[in-house]
Amino acid sequence: MLSLLPQASSSAEGSADVLQTNEVGDARDALKPITELLVSSAHGESLRLYCTVPTWSPMSDICIDLHDLNDLRSRSLHFIHDLVSSLRASGVPATYTLAPSNSPLCLICASHSEVDKCSLQVCAHEAFDQMKPIAREKVVVVQLKDGPALVLT
């Protein structure tokens, strides 16, 4: 996994499994700093983005109905497309894989192409288990044990 941001804050003080998070703002504001960090971390290597796309979710604080879920899915796909385009424009070959999810969150893990997809899926489950949505239309960097992941709410 690639290092995106320094560990900024924690969701639970004094816990053995402290989840490190850093809110980057909304998708439009987050695109440029995330692209710059991924470009500086890539060192000329290609990147693969493993992306979960919400397809169904039980009611939550963020997704109350199917309209909310459809809005999140649409924003997520636009952000993924814009991120890949921005990375390619910066000279970093980037591809992505979409996976359906039953969570009210979109998760994006960046890795070099040689990283095992199963380990990325484990990271995705870890982020979903530990991440509690804080607000709608935000991008949060979550520091997992295997590296950071982007969470779109």
DSSP sequence for 19-48: PEEEEEESHHHHHHHHHHHHHHHHTT--EE
**pLDDT at residue 17 in the model:** 52
Does position 81 have pLDDT exceeding 90, yes or no? yes
The SS3 assignment for 3 reads coil
How many whole angstroms separate alpha carbon 12 and alpha carbon 9? 9
User: What is the average per-residue pLDDT within 94-103?
Assistant: 87
**pLDDT at residue 8 in the model:** 41
Question: What ranges do the domains of the chain cover?
Answer: 19-152
**Pairing verdict, β 94-101 and 47-54:** parallel
User: What is the average per-residue pLDDT within 26-48?
Assistant: 83
User: Angle at the Cα of 43 (from 39 to 44), degrees rounded to 5?
Assistant: 85
Does position 20 have pLDDT exceeding 90, yes or no? no
What amino acid is encoded at 138 in this protein? K
How many whole angstroms separate alpha carbon 6 and alpha carbon 136? 23
Residue 23 has which token pair?
A: 């809110």
**pLDDT at residue 113 in the model:** 61
**82 confidence band (pLDDT: 50, 70, 90):** very high
Does position 93 have pLDDT exceeding 80, yes or no? yes
pTM for the whole structure:
0.76
How many whole angstroms separate alpha carbon 49 and alpha carbon 67? 26
**Percentage of the chain modeled with pLDDT above 90:** 16
